[in-house]
Structure 1
């Protein structure tokens, strides 16, 4: 009868994978930025911390899932080998049956007294006894070998099944951890957005939220305003949301996503009212300006110097916005109405979007 655990026969590899998974450190992930958020930074800090926790949990979960898939494929390969071994054992047992039947037909199974009486000569008796002994020994050895193999098979199946259960349990724990963090993150995002909406309605910014982080050293002078994103409304596109044409490039991202300055410069404007909601405008050393709008929080103050890649706020959906995104503009002056297409503007500076 087949064991229901047969597909799990991959003991050493599974145990190794389980050990590595459970011992995996929760190191920093992402683009190399080291984030340290204290408990006193309010919702902005909580959102950033939860983003990092969710990223680590997701990475660990995906690693565990991929390892489990690899072990499942290995188990299936070993199962095929075991099926072949079982077929070979079946053939051996058929051979043993034939040997036993042949032994019986040739008097190999007769009592020693009967063989003494019926033997025509001592030589015949000795030959018969020798054949009987050799056959008996071969049969006994084969049976013992089969018994040991079957016993080891049962042990290996039990070990492999236990290892697989531990691995599946660990994956389930990681998935639950990921879900819990994502639920907390979603709640914190909308709380953060609620605070931002209140500030915009009052027309006053709450002040920069400083997040303790180690600045990543970028090798280029210009970077994209977000680490990961999906491009949405493009420059010059039409629609009912804009009086004329869209004046920037939109990046679809969840509320609370860290927004970066695309280049070195100085903050020339921090505003919390109007169609753009909570916004930051940065003047760069080449004479151009960039705007970051519909934010949920700001991390800089007006007049402050910023470096390329420095966090200047968190994305949101304040002002005239139909959903969470970053509205990004490249301008000739700090004021609206002087925007140029930001995609080729960034391309000229070595930043490819998409």
Structure 2
């Protein structure tokens, strides 16, 4: 019985042991599978954590990139605004330069018109001067002809010539006082019918009182003649001398004055011609100076306009280069910059 009991106990124990072992093996196999799954899940979790860290790093880098891009965008907008301002200023300067150039062209046209008027006035003045010179030459010729054709008066005998005769001038219209003048009493012995006006001795047997008013006869070769005016000087110097000096040169002992003659008119014409010539010369010098100064101003203005245009071109090229560089540096904000740039 004990053996049977022992056998039974051993069999029951073996059977229980087998059952426990089987259940242990089953549970062990199940736990092994779950352990593997757990390990796999842990590995997956680690991978996810790594990915999360990488994603966070990427997000941090992307946020930094976003801030940098925003700053670049703001800088680009500021640069575009400054470029627009510079472009507006350059356009304004170009407009001012165009206006100044238009004003300069208008001034140039006005100066050309004034120069044309001055040239016309100069031409008219030259024509008038030539006409006055021709008139002056004609008057000189008439004066020389009248001086050559004039009959020189005779001298008186003894001291009566100082009282009764007056030397004539050098023009044809300075006539001798022959008729209508009362006779002067003579202090010395002289013929009764001698001419008191001319101071010329007349023969009693040949001339009467009525014949003394007739044209003068040709001078006798035996009688001495008065000293005539030498026409060897230049006409300009002759016209500038006064009438009294010419009369004193003809007759230094004469105390009376001669009647007015054409020399005053010639002197007045010559003075007027000289005054008009000086005035015209002064006007032409002023016009020439004004035209010269206007040409200097025009050249200076053209140089300033060229310099402003060159500066504008340089500024525009710099603006274009800067905008191109900004667009190349910021490709993400390039579209915004392109939209903002006119």
Shorter-chain TM-score bucket reads 0.3 to 0.5
Higher strand share: 1
Which protein shows a greater Rg? 2
Normalising by structure 2, we get a TM-score of 0.41
When normalised by structure 1's length, the TM-score is: 0.40
Greater relative CO (CA pairs within 8 A, separation 6+): 2
